[in-house]
Amino acid sequence: MSQPHIAIIDWTTSPQGDPESTIERQIIGSAARVTRTLCETDADLTDEVCGANAIIIWHNMPLTAKGIAHLKNCRAIIRNGVGFDSVDVSAARERGIAVCNVPDYGTEEVADHAIALAMALCRQILPLDAEAKQLGWNIRVTPKLRRLSTLTFGIVGLGRIGTATALRAKALGFRVVFYDPYLPNGTDKAVGVTRVRTLDELLAQSDVLSLHCPLNQETRHLIAERELSLLKPSAFIVNTARGAIIKKTAVIAALYEGRIAGAGLDVIEDEPLRTADEAAAPNLIATCHAAFCSVESKIEMRSTSARIALAAVQGAPLENVVNGVV
């Protein structure tokens, strides 16, 4: 029998792996042949990749039903990260291909990043930095500087990352409130935070709104014009989850019109930012879909993906299957 093939697909625009796939090869060893291919979309998939027994795919490289239809021998598609909205999981299920993710690798980093964005907004770190570097000392942003213990930190989605963020926010003195319709009763008591039963109720209370839910049909544009109108004009919004949870045109307009006080967006719909007007939106802090990123998190993520891919080519049970295929 020929040696199994594990194909790593990285994104041409912003490759995240190393050309030698060092970490993956350390895990997989001689059990399979490992290749790495740079693609912009799944139209770029080569015949070699389409013949792989398992695929590891990085974020921002979409794998649609059309691309999945060309996979000949694939048992598992492993998304190098938490989110799997870039993979057509239904199409994979129809072809008997498991889709797996790595749900826990960046929990600490993303929670830390969400808090960093919230703190930068509440304490106006970037405007103060700009003022100081212009040799000024007028503290023009005084009306936006807030005492954390007087503020409500609202969280949408109290999963792993949402919980980690809630605990950090609570430690900083925020009153923490969350909305998550899928959690059992008592979760609020276990974590020591307040629960609300509707998104509208959360929006009305939040001084900082932090998003920690997956992107799916239910959550796409969960925050759009109507929802932004329910926030206080003094509120800040933070997104370290998925860009399209917030409608981009709506949040950019809200910033320009002063209907919210600021936004910290690590992810943004149709990322990266596309125009000078988007980039110049007032009181916007944008980071490069980097909340997950640290030396340690990338090693953990890649090691887990490689372990799942190895199990796939060896016929062993798979971890973190998200589309019900075993």
Q: Which residue type sits at 150?
A: T
Whole-angstrom distance, CA of residue 127 vs CA of residue 117: 13
Specify which residues 209 forms β-bridges with: 154, 237
Place of tokens 């993520």: 301
Active site residue 146: no
Q: Which helix (H) or strand (E) holds 188?
A: helix 187-191
Can you say how many angstroms the Cα of residue 272 is from the centroid of all Cα atoms in its chain? Answer: 14
- Residue 59 near residue 91 (C-beta atoms within 8 A): no
Which pair of tokens denotes residue 286?
């944008």
Active site residue 5: no
Q: For 151-310, list the strands marked E by DSSP.
A: 152-156, 175-179, 194-195, 208-211, 236-239, 262-265, 284-286
Whole-angstrom distance, CA of residue 287 vs CA of residue 302: 22
- Among 5, 59, 289, 302, the active-site one is 289
Burial 85-102 (b: 16+ CB within 10 A, else e): bbbbbebbbeeebbbbbb
Active site residue 289: yes
Whole-angstrom distance, CA of residue 221 vs CA of residue 285: 20
- Among 36, 75, 212, 242, the active-site one is 242
Whole-angstrom distance, CA of residue 31 vs CA of residue 43: 29
Burial of 76 (0-12, 13-18, 19+ CB in 10 A): buried
- Among 271, 300, 307, 319, the active-site one is 271
Q: For 118-229, list the strands marked E by DSSP.
A: 152-156, 175-179, 194-195, 208-211
Which pair of tokens denotes residue 56?
């590891």
Q: Which residue type sits at 301?
A: M
Which residues are annotated as catalytic?
A: 242, 271, 289
